[in-house]
Structure formats: structure tokens, C-alpha cells
Amino acid sequence: MISLRGLTKRYGAATAVDDLTLDVRPGRVTGFLGPNGAGKSTTMRMILGLDRPTRGSALVNGRPYAALRHPLREVGALLDARAVHPGLTARTHLTALARSNGLPVSRVAEVLETVGLTEVADRRTGSFSLGMGQRLGIAAALLGDPAVLLFDEPVNGLDPDGVRWVRRLMRSLAAEGRTVFVSSHLMSEMQATADQLVVLGRGRLIADAPVAEVVAAGSGHAVRVRSPQASLLGGRLAAEGALVEQGTADELLVTGLSAERIGGLAHREGVVLHELSPQPVSLEEAYLELTASSIEYSAATADRNGTGV
């Protein structure tokens, strides 16, 4: 388990992480979300002892990372897939890690097989693609068979098959009772992979809740309506205060009114309905709503000529 208590990191007058307290528990995939500059990478670096907290503590299984005698046996991490000497082969890189942590060298072949790099194990890593580098980083994280795993953007550079493989790997590791902490900007992957979400904004904790709870808290639930009288119905719904988007000639996407109210209004107006189906909010929509006030860098909407409007 990862335990953070009052974790704070300041750089001069700037606060990167602000009084963060939470537990990342075993047996589930915990997604770590937040806008750029929210403090996610700094938090992970403090967990791994790469940055020293200004205040508070970050413990792994009750101890600071620096106190672990053989860290790879307890914690595996992928923070930067490029942090490998380009002149080393994948096999040599992993062998050095194994020997420095008292691990059997036989584990190298096992993790290379797990991540699908056996055939390129003796190629220099400087020739690896971004996706291959990600796989090597995951292999290094798995090398010590640790109970705690941290991954920062693990699907960067992977093709769709690789993304699906990472998703299955994360879930299988959690199913084995491990603690899996994954940072990502891909909301669709987090919705498909994570059980729990931790959301930061400007260094502070915004949410620590199950995925379903975060999604359910979104206010943008819409209702898909199909009717041969869509234009007439759309006007009536707009008059009731709904936001109505026209799709095809017979289709509307309605926000601001429940399916029950839409159905009742259609009945009163004598409008025939072919479909009335609530559309669940996506994690992306709920996340954007949740973090709207925490975004530091927001590009202006551009017109066709590329100028802000």
C-alpha cells in the first residue's frame, strides 16, 4: 500500500503538491488524474524518493522508499521510458538491474517474454521505438515481482493492441492483490482500466473515489431522442430550458431535462417518439467538469484562420 500524509512540495514560492493525504490500496487499479501541472509526476517522484517533500510523508508498505534494502523487490515503477542508456541492449539493462537488487538473472528472460521483447532483447535500446521503450520500462518495473507498482503514462507510443495489453496487465496485477497506481491523460483508458480514481488540481486533492462515483457526479447527462417530429419537439424542449442539439433529421441530443420529463412533454404535445434513451456521462466529461477551475494552461478557441475568438 502507498500512504501519503500531508505530502507537500514547494519550489520557492510555487507549490507543486499541497497537503496531500490519501491511501492507494492493494487489489485494485487506482488511476491518477489531473491537468498538466497538477502535481502528479512530483507526487510519484516523492513516493520513489527522487524528490524530497517539503513537508509530510510518502510511505510504501509503511516505510520510506529510501529505507527499502532491495527496492525492486517491493516497488516497481515506470516514470520515464527514455531513462535507459542507449548503448545498452534490453537484456543487459535488465540484467544490471537484477544483479544490483539481488534478483535472479533468470527473471530477465521471464519479464522480456511478458512484455513481448524477447526477439529484440539483444538490440541496443537507442534503436527502440517509443512503444518498445515503454515495454522495456514495464519489464523493469516487473523485474522484482513487487507488490506495489507505479506507472506514469504507460501506454504512450503503444499501438491499439499494445494499449489493450497494458490494460489487461494492469487489471491482472491488481487481481493478484498488488497495489497498482497509474497516471494517464487518456480518459477512455482510465474508464476501462481503473477501479478507483485520485484527481489532483493545482497540487490539491479534488477527488478520491470509485470511477462510477466520479462519473455519476457529472452533471452533463444527456438524453438521445428520435422522432419524425424532431424539429417541433426540439422547439418545445428548448422553451422548457433544455439544451437541444440537432443530430440527423429525426434525432436530438437533449441536456437539462430527464427522459421522464421529455417523454411527458412529447405525450402532451402529441409527438411520436421512436427512441428516448439516457446517455451516460463519460469519464472525460465528468473529469473536465471536475477540473475546470484547476486548468493552468487553456488554449483559446480558434476560428478558421487560426485566430482566437
Asked if residue 240 has pLDDT above 70, the reply is yes
The sign of the torsion formed by the CA atoms of 158, 160, 163, 168 equals: negative
Q: What is the CATH number of domain 222-279?
A: 3.30.70
Asked if residue 307 has pLDDT above 90, the reply is no
Residue 76 grid coordinates: 516497481
Question: 94, 111 in Cβ contact below 8 A?
Answer: yes
- The C-alpha cell 541492449 sits at 89
Tally of CA atoms within 13 A in the half-sphere of 97 that contains its CB: 28
Lowest-pLDDT range, 28-37, 130-139, 255-264, 289-298?
289-298
The domain limits of the chain are 2-212, 222-279
Angle at alpha carbon of residue 40, lines to 37 and 46, rounded to 5° = 120
Band of residue 220 on the pLDDT scale cut at 50, 70, 90? low
Same fold, 2-212 and 222-279: no
**pLDDT value, residue 304:** 40
* Contacts for 206 with CB less than 8 Å, ≥ 6 apart: 34, 199, 200, 290, 291, 294
DSSP codes, 28-71: EEEEEE--TTSSHHHHHHHHTTSS--SEEEEEETTB-GGG-SSH
Say what percent of the chain tops pLDDT 90: 75
| Tens digits of residue pLDDT in 24-64 | 999 999 999 999 899 999 999 999 999 999 999 999 999 99
- The C-alpha cell 470511477 sits at 211
**pLDDT value, residue 195:** 96
With 0.75 as the threshold, say if the pTM is over it: yes
Instruction: Tell me which fold the domain 2-212 belongs to.
Output: Rossmann fold (3.40.50)
Question: 279, 222 in Cβ contact below 8 A?
Answer: yes
The predicted model gives 142-167 an average pLDDT of 94
Q: Cβ of 128: how many Cβ atoms within 10 Å?
A: 21
**pLDDT value, residue 300:** 52
Band of residue 303 on the pLDDT scale cut at 50, 70, 90? very low
**How do 179-183 and 28-33 pair as beta strands?**
parallel
Q: Name 2's bridge partners.
A: 24, 60
Residue 49 grid coordinates: 524518493
**pLDDT value, residue 305:** 43
**pLDDT value, residue 18:** 97
Reported residue count of the chain is: 309
Lowest-pLDDT range, 78-92, 193-207, 272-286?
272-286
**What is the 3-state composition of the chain as percent helix, strand, coil, each rounded to the nearest 5?**
40, 25, 35
